[in-house]
Amino acid sequence: MLMRHLWKFVVIFILCMPLLSLAQNDILFEATFDDGTIPDTLNIQFGTHEVVDGNLSYSVKNGGFLVIPDGVAWTDYAIETRLQITAGSVWLQARTGGDLCSGYYLTINHDADLYDLSVADRDCHFTVLEVIDAAGVSADWLVARIEVQGDQIHGYINDELLFSATDSNYTVGYPIINIFPAKDDEAQVQFDSIRVFDLSVSEPIAEITAEAELTEVLIVEETPEIEVTPEAELTEVPTIEETPEVEATAEALVIELPTVNEIPLDDDPQRMIETLQSFGLIPTDEGQLYTQDTISVSRIGAWFEPLFDEEVAQHVVMSGTIDFLPYSDMESCLLSVRIIRDEVGVAQQYLDVGLNSRNEVFVGESADNGHYGQATQDGFLTDLHGNFLFIVYGNRLSVYVDGQAVFQNVEVTPREGGFGVSAIESTSYSVCHITDIWAYTFED
């Protein structure tokens, strides 16, 4: 393109042209898995994975993703992967903000036999820009690539340009690969390689050294001066502070919560706190009360919404009224505490209490090694609605639904962390709606 504007006749520089080409194709990230390892700069969330015969084998039941945290300030780039989809769909995502949702998507939907190019806002509301009916999407290996350069978005499958769109809503952000299963199934994908290429425009080379060999010089007029446009200013991307982890030690508080089978409910949080104190479930010393009216999550995948301005605590009472509208099995709507997040803002360790799409009361906790243990109880709910209140004190957890004890003195990991609402949803039609949320924190 540059040569077309500069010369009336073709002039080939053996030295200069390769340099320009290489500058436009610098590799920002590369993972080939040939040595049996996964780069530390590839952050894999949810599901199970291992490297087998030089391929990353990944499976997940509720949705997961691979994020490259170093890409927080990348602007013009292409993310490309060679992959094989056994089941589910894969979405290559570019220019994602700290919400981990906004940006541009190239979707390969193995189960629905389609490809599409779409854009999503920070609330995960999708707009499909173009879609192709790809009947019989190959189960063989394929190469998928999405490019973002200025306001141009291009999508390729096996080096064939399928999609071309213009949009300027997002200019900077992470490259991500999302993986989602079909309804009630497990997604299974193998990755042979994942690469991100720099597509930012290089500065034109101003001079040709004496050593540059010319094969032909046919300049018949003076080369016009080319004005170099200043680089576009980067949009500031909010950073998410990592929640500091407090390690459990031998001196961690070990207690036994009293057995209380029923607690009278009250709409006033302060009166509820006084009731819990009267039962001996929490200390009578003064603590801190936080409130929030409503949180609603309706997104595909596993998400959490932080609460209470990043406050952290170890000993907590938390309450909220959950109304859950799931679309399929394996979905859940949860209140979460003791949340510890990484540098991208993704929750790594947490304690969840809520309900799932089977009308079961659900408790789950992620251990330090990443294992997620869970327990469920049915028979307490006739529909997907109820008041949930739980006490986390030291290494113990007790859970009440509509005032009735469901779990008592469950052993949990004592640690400090933040608050939030978590949801696992398979479609944007699922709704995790929680009202009258409050939390009370206290000391030993």
Distances in Å between the Cα of 272 and the Cα atoms of 276, 319, 334, 424 are 6, 10, 21, 29
CA torsion sign for 137, 139, 142, 148 is: positive
What tokens does 333 get? 């709507």
The pLDDT of residue 213 is 35
pLDDT beyond 80 at 197: yes
pLDDT band at residue 421 under the 50/70/90 scheme: very high
- Region of 302 please: left (phi>0), alpha (psi -120 to 50) or beta: beta
Higher pLDDT, 271 or 16: 271
pLDDT band at residue 64 under the 50/70/90 scheme: confident
Place of tokens 């042209």: 17
C-alpha to C-alpha distance for 81 and 158, rounded to whole angstroms: 10
C-alpha to C-alpha distance for 63 and 116, rounded to whole angstroms: 19
Contacts of residues 370-378 at CB distance under 8 Å and 24 or more positions apart, as own/partner, are 375/407, 375/410, 377/406, 377/407
C-alpha to C-alpha distance for 298 and 401, rounded to whole angstroms: 23
pLDDT band at residue 215 under the 50/70/90 scheme: very low
Q: At 269, is the secondary structure helix, strand, or coil?
A: helix
Tell me yes or no: is domain 269-441 CATH 2.60.40.420: no
C-alpha to C-alpha distance for 26 and 201, rounded to whole angstroms: 11
Q: Determine the residue type at 255.
A: I
Write out the DSSP string of 108-133: EETTTTEEEEEEE-TT--EEEEEEEE
Name the CA dihedral angle for 114, 84, 200, 21, rounded to a multiple of 10 degrees. -120
Selection from 51, 52, 31, 54 nearest residue 41 by Cα: 31
Q: Are 142 and 81 in contact (CB under 8 A)?
A: no
276-299 pLDDT per residue, tens: 999 999 999 999 999 998 898 877
C-alpha to C-alpha distance for 32 and 35, rounded to whole angstroms: 8
pLDDT band at residue 367 under the 50/70/90 scheme: confident
Is it true that 25-198 and 269-441 share their CATH fold?
yes
C-alpha to C-alpha distance for 239 and 44, rounded to whole angstroms: 19
pTM for this model (two decimals) = 0.52
Domain spans, the chain: 25-198, 269-441
Q: What is the CATH number of domain 25-198?
A: 2.60.120.560
112-137 pLDDT per residue, tens: 788 999 999 877 788 999 999 876 56
